[in-house]
A and B are shown apart, each in its own frame.
Chain A
Amino acid sequence: MAAEIGRSLLWLALPLSLYAAFASVWGIRARDARWAASAQRATNALAVLLGVGLLLLLVAFLSDDFSVRYVAQHSSTVIPLYLKISAIWAGQEGSLLLWCALQAFFAAVATGLPNEKARPLVPWATVFLNLISAFFLTVTVLHSNPFATLDVVLAEGQGLNPLLRHPGMIFHPPALYIGYVGLAVPFAFALAALVTRRIEGWTRALHTWMLVAWLGLGIGLLLGMRWAYDVLGWGGYWGWDPVENAGLLPWFTLTALLHGAVMQEERRGFHLWNMLLAIFSFVLVLFGTFATRSGMIASVHAYAQSNLGGYFLSAIGVVLVGSFALLISRRKALPSEAGPASLFSRDGMFYLTLILFSTLTVSVFIGSVLPTITEVLTSRRFEAGPAWFDRVTGPQFGLLVLILGVCPLLGRAAATLVRLRRRLWLLALGAVGAPLAAAAFGFREPVSLLGLGVVGLAGVVTVAELVEGAITRSRRTGEAPINALWRLLRLQRRTYGGYLVHAGVVLMAVGILGTRLYPFEVERTFRMLEPVDVGRYTLVYEGLRQEFVDDHVRTYATVSVYGERGYLVGLEPRLDRYTSGSQTLTTPALRPSVREDLYLILSGWSDNGEIATFKVVINALVNFLWVGGLVFLAGGALALWPHVRSRTWNLVALVVALSLLGGAVWAMWGATHGMILGGTGRPLVGEPAPDIRLTLLDGSTVSLASLKGQVVLINFWASWCPSCVEEMPALQAVWEAYEERGVTFLGVAHRDTQDAVEAALRQYGTTYPVGLDAGERVSTLYGITGIPETFIIDARGDLTLAHIGPITAEALSTVIDAALDMSDQ
C-alpha cells in the first residue's frame, strides 16, 4: 500500500508543479496577490508531497517490501539498517525521486523565506523553479518511477552493490545533490532578475544560496575523492572520469560566480558575466545528470544505457535557448561594462580569475566529450585520459594559484608596485623557501619545485593577510591579536571564510603536486615471511585468514611494515568476494604520515596462501590534500554562517560544526584503515637480533650481548603446547652435538609456570639453559605470534634464521653448521 500511495503522490505532484508555475504567472500578469498566494501554497504543498513520497520509499526499504521493483533491486534482508536507508539513492529511480524532493524543498524555502532583497524576484523565481520541478517530475513519473511494482514478489532482494556498502555512501550523493539542486535557485532568481530588470542586486540577494550549493558540491566532491581513495582500492582519488567531471564543471562556474559576485557588489561591473555563469552553472548541472544517466558517455560510473538522455538533452536545449533569448531581450537593462582599470589590480586579477575558471570549465568539458567531438570532426574517436587532463588543466590551476597569491598584494587601485616592494621579502620567503624545504626532504622533480614555489608564494601571502588583519585590528582596538583574529572571524565571515578557503586550496595544491608528480606504484608477488624492499619500506607478508560474513567471503592478508628505524605497523588489506555474481571488492590498508601514505592492496593469492600478490602505492604528500580539503570546507562553512544573535543557537551550531569536523578528522586519520596497532613485528633475517635479558630457572641472568661471539639459538616454547614438546628431543640432541663448539641454546618458556616447565625439562632430559619469559618481554621483542618458534643468531649478532613451527634436527644442524662456518672465517 505504501508503494501505491507513493505512486499516486508522484502523479499528483506533476500537475501541481505545473499549476504552481502557471498560477504564479497569472498572479504577475493580473497583479493579483491571490494567485501569488495560491502559487506559494502549491509550491509548499509540492515539497510536502514529495517529502512524504520519499518517506514512503524509505518505509518500503525498511519493511523489505520486495514487491517494489526498486527495493528488490537494491536491498536485501541481510544488509544493515544504515545501508537500507542509503539504498534509496543507490539507483536511478530513487536518486531521481530524491532530486525531485530536494528541488521542491529548495523551491519552497527559497520562495517562501526569501531575504528582503530577493523579495521582488520571488514571483518569477517561483515560475522557473516550479517549471524545473515539473521537468524532473515528468522524467521520474513517466520513465523512472521508483514505485513501480513487480508482478512476481521475490522473497529476497538482490542486495546492494558491494561498492556502495560504505558509510561514505551515506553522505556523498546527498551532498552532491544539495549542490546540484541548490544551483537551480540562483539560476531561477537570476532569470527572474533579468525578467524584472533588477540586475543590480541579485547576487547579493542570492549570496547565501550560492554558498550553500557551493558547499554542497564541495563536500560531495571531496567525499567522493576520499571514498574512492579509501574503498575503491586503486590508490588514487580522481580519475578524470566524465561523471566525476560532471560534478566538477558546475563547481568551477559556481566558484567563478562567487568571485564575480564580489565584483558586482563592489560596483565593478561583471553583470553580464555573472548572468552567464548562473545560466551555465545550471546547464552544466543538467549536462552532468545527462552524462550519468544517458549512457552516451563511456564511464566506469554511469548507469547503464537508459532512455533518459533525450529528455535531458532537450532540457539543456530549452534552457539555453530560453535563457539567451531572455538575455538578449533584456540586454539594455545590463549596465555596460566599464572594464577593470588595469590588469595588475585587484579587478584585473578577478577578471583573469574568471577567465581561467571559464577556460578550465571548457577544457574539462571538451575532455569529457572528446570522443564525440573528434568522431564528428575527424571520424576517429580520441579519448582523453588522465594524462590529457593533467597536461591541459595543470598549468591553468597553477596560474589560478599564482593569482590567488598575487591578488591580495595588489591594492584596489591600479599599479601597486609600492606595495609589492614592501612585501618582497614575504614573496621571496614563500616562493623560494617552500621548494628549498621540499628539496631538502628529497622532492627534487623540477616541475613540482616550480609548482611548490607558486604554492609557497600563495600560502605565505594568504597567511599574511590573516595575520595582518588581526594585528591591524588589535592595534586599533587594543585587543590581543588572537582575540582580534577571533573577532574578525566572527564579524567578517565572508572575507575570512574566503581566506580560509584559499588557505585550503594552497594545501590541497601541495597534495596534488605530490601525488601527481611523484607517482609510485608497483605490483609484486610476495612469498610468506620473505622481506621485500619497496620504496623506503621493507614489507613482510605474514599470512592470510578468511572470514565468512553474510553473503561474502573476506580474505585478510597481514603484512608487517618496517621502516628505516625498525617495525612501523602491521597492515591488513582485504578482498571480499561476493557469492552472488562474481563481484569482488578490495579494501586497501593504508599507513598515513605527513610525508606520504603507504597504500597496500591485496590483489591475489595462491591456493595454499604461501604466495600473495600486492599492489603497493606510495602517495607522496597526499595528506596535505585531505587537510587542505577540510580547511577549505571549514572556510566555506564560515562564510555561510548566519548572523544570529541567540547565544544558544551559536553555541549549538558551533558544537555541531566542530563535531562534524572532528568526525571527518577521525574518519581519515583516527580510524585504522586496516592498520594493526600494538604489534611489534619480528626481527628481520640479516639484521642485528634484538638484545634480551633472560632470567634462568636457576636464578642467573643471561643476555644476548654477553654471548657475542657465539652462535645462539633461542627457542620459544611452552609445556602445554604439543608441538613444542614434540620437538624437545630433537633440540636436546642437537644441543648435545654442538654444546662444546661455541654454540649456546636458550629456551624461553612462554606463558608457563615454573613447576610445569621443570617437569617438562625433567621428562625430556633437557640440559640447555631455560628461563621463564617474565612479562612476556622476550616474546614481544621477538614478535612471536605463536609457539614454537626458533631463532638462530650468528656470532656477529645478526639473525640468521627465524622459523615458525616445529623444526627438525636436520634443519637445525644445517643452519648451525653454516653459522659456525661463517664465524670461523
Chain B
Amino acid sequence: MKGHRTTFVIAGLLVVAAVVYLIVSSTGSAAQFFLTVQEVHDLADEVVGRNVTVSGAVLGETIVYDPLAPHVTFTIVHVPGDSQAVEAAGGLAQVLHDATLDPTRPRLEVVYRGVKPDLLTNEAQAIVRGRLDEEGRLIADDLLLKCPSRYEEEIPGQVEG
C-alpha cells in the first residue's frame, strides 16, 4: 500500500534528520577545538571560554606543584599538529625535544586542579582539555600525558583491536 510505504519513508527520514540535527548542533557547541599552541595564539579571542583541546610539549622547569590544594601549573610549547610534519622533523620524540629548546616558539600556561601526574615531566607530550580564560591561560579539566622517551613502544594502553 503506497500510503503506508510513504509513512515509513517519512518516519525514517524524520529519525535521520533528528540525528543529523543532534550531530551538527553538538559539534557546534559541545565539540572541542583541537588546536596547537600556535593556533591558540592566532585565534586568541575567538576561543576564549570555549572547550578546547590543546597539545604541546611540557617545559619541565615551569612545573609548579602545590600538593595541599592540590594544584599544578606548567607551560607547554607549540608542537606541530600535522603528523606528516612531525615525521619530517625526525619523529615525535625529536620534535618534543626541539620544542623545549626553542625559545621563539609560542607558549601557553596551563592550570590544573588536581594531583600532579607522574608523567608530567620535561619534554612530555601533553594533551590538555579545558577552557581558556581571559588572561590567556588554559584552565584544564583533563590532562592526558604521554611518555617523552621510548615512544615507539608503550603508551600505557589497552590491547583492543
A→B interface (CB under 8 Å): 73, 89-91, 95, 158, 161-164, 169, 172-173, 176, 180, 220, 224, 243-244, 246-247, 288-289, 291-293, 295-296, 298, 300-305, 339-343, 348, 351-352, 355-356, 359, 362-363, 366-367, 370-371, 374, 380-385, 387-388, 391-392, 395-396, 399, 523, 525, 577, 581-584, 603-604, 606, 611, 613
Contacts and interface: CB of A to CB of B under 8 A. Distances in A.
A302 B1 contact: no
A348 B8 contact: yes
Interface in B79-111: 81, 83, 92
9 contacts: A95-B159, A163-B157, A342-B4, A351-B8, A362-B19, A381-B35, A392-B19, A523-B115, A525-B69
B22 A176 contact: no
Interface string B42-77: 000000000101000000000000011110000000
Nearest to A342: B4
Nearest to A337: B5
A224 B160 contact: yes
Contacts of A384: 26-27, 30-32
Contacts of B5: 339
Contact of A382 (B31, B155, B157): B31
Interface residues of B, number: 53
B8 A89 contact: no
Contacts of A363: 19, 22-23
B34 A523 contact: no
B70 A356 contact: no
A341 B67 contact: no
Contact of B160 (A176, A339, A396): A176
A382 B161 contact: no
B34 A382 contact: yes
Contacts of A342: 4, 7
Contacts of A355: 12, 15-16
B78 interface: no
Contacts of A295: 83
A381 B33 contact: yes
Contacts of B4: 339-343
B82 to A, nearest CB: 10
Most chain B CB atoms below 10 A, which of A158, A224, A291, A391 = A391
A216 B88 CA distance: 41
B154 to A, nearest CB: 5
Interface of B: 1, 4-5, 7-8, 11-12, 15-16, 18-19, 22-23, 26-27, 30-35, 51, 53, 67-70, 81, 83, 92, 113-116, 118-119, 121, 127, 129, 144, 147, 150-161
Contact of A169 (B114, B121, B159): B159
A342 B10 CA distance: 12
Contacts of A339: 4-5, 8
B10 to A, nearest CB: 9
Contact of A385 (B51, B118, B147, B157): B51
Most chain B CB atoms below 10 A, which of A91, A298, A302, A606 = A298
A603 B121 contact: no
A276 to B, nearest CB: 14
Most chain A CB atoms below 10 A, which of B33, B67, B154 = B154
Given A300-B144, A396-B19, A161 B156 contact: yes
A309 to B, nearest CB: 10
A582 B12 contact: no
Contacts of A348: 8, 11
Contact of A304 (B51, B69, B153, B159): B153
A383 B114 contact: no
Q: Which 6 A-B pairs have the closest CB atoms?
A: A292-B161, A381-B34, A603-B115, A382-B31, A604-B115, A359-B19
A391 B160 contact: no
B33 A380 contact: yes
A43 B129 CA distance: 50
B23 A366 contact: yes
Given A339-B8, A382-B31, A246 B23 contact: no
Contact of B23 (A392, A523, A584, A611): A392
A582 B8 contact: no
Contacts of B67: 604, 606, 611, 613
A384 to B, nearest CB: 5
Contacts of B152: 304
A300 B129 CA distance: 14
Given A300-B144, A304-B151, A341-B1, A582 B27 contact: no
A323 to B, nearest CB: 21
A304 B155 contact: yes
Contacts of B51: 385
Contacts of B151: 304
Nearest to A523: B114
Given A91-B159, A173-B159, A392-B26, A385 B32 contact: yes
A73 B127 CA distance: 26
A603 B115 CA distance: 6
Given A90-B159, A305-B92, A351-B8, 5 more contacts: A288-B160, A380-B33, A391-B30, A523-B70, A525-B69
B43 to A, nearest CB: 9
A292 B160 contact: yes
A91 B156 CA distance: 11
Contacts of A289: 161
A355 B11 CA distance: 10
A385 B156 contact: no
A385 B83 CA distance: 21
Nearest to A348: B8
A352 B18 CA distance: 13
Contact of B33 (A244, A340, A382): A382
A113 B158 CA distance: 34
Contact of A388 (B8, B27, B35): B27
A370 B67 CA distance: 37
Contacts of A298: 127
A164 B160 CA distance: 12
Given A304-B151, A351-B8, A374 B118 contact: no
B158 A301 contact: yes
A523 B114 CA distance: 7
A391 B30 CA distance: 9
B161 A164 contact: no
Contacts of A90: 159
B107 to A, nearest CB: 20
A162 B4 CA distance: 58
Contacts of B22: 363, 391-392, 395-396
A606 B118 CA distance: 15
A306 to B, nearest CB: 9
Given A298-B127, A382-B34, A288 B68 contact: no
B11 to A, nearest CB: 5
B34 to A, nearest CB: 4
A352 B15 contact: yes
Contacts of B150: 581
A351 B12 contact: yes
Nearest to A387: B30
B8 to A, nearest CB: 6
Nearest to A607: B67
Nearest to A92: B159
Contacts of B81: 381
A298 B126 CA distance: 12
Contacts of A300: 144, 155, 157-158
Given A370-B27, A388-B26, A525-B68, A246 B15 contact: no
B34 A383 contact: yes
B31 A370 contact: yes
Contacts of B33: 380-383
Nearest to B157: A301
Contacts of B115: 523, 603-604, 613
A302 B150 CA distance: 15
A603 B156 contact: no
A227 B115 CA distance: 23
A385 B159 contact: no
A523 B157 contact: no
Nearest to A247: B160
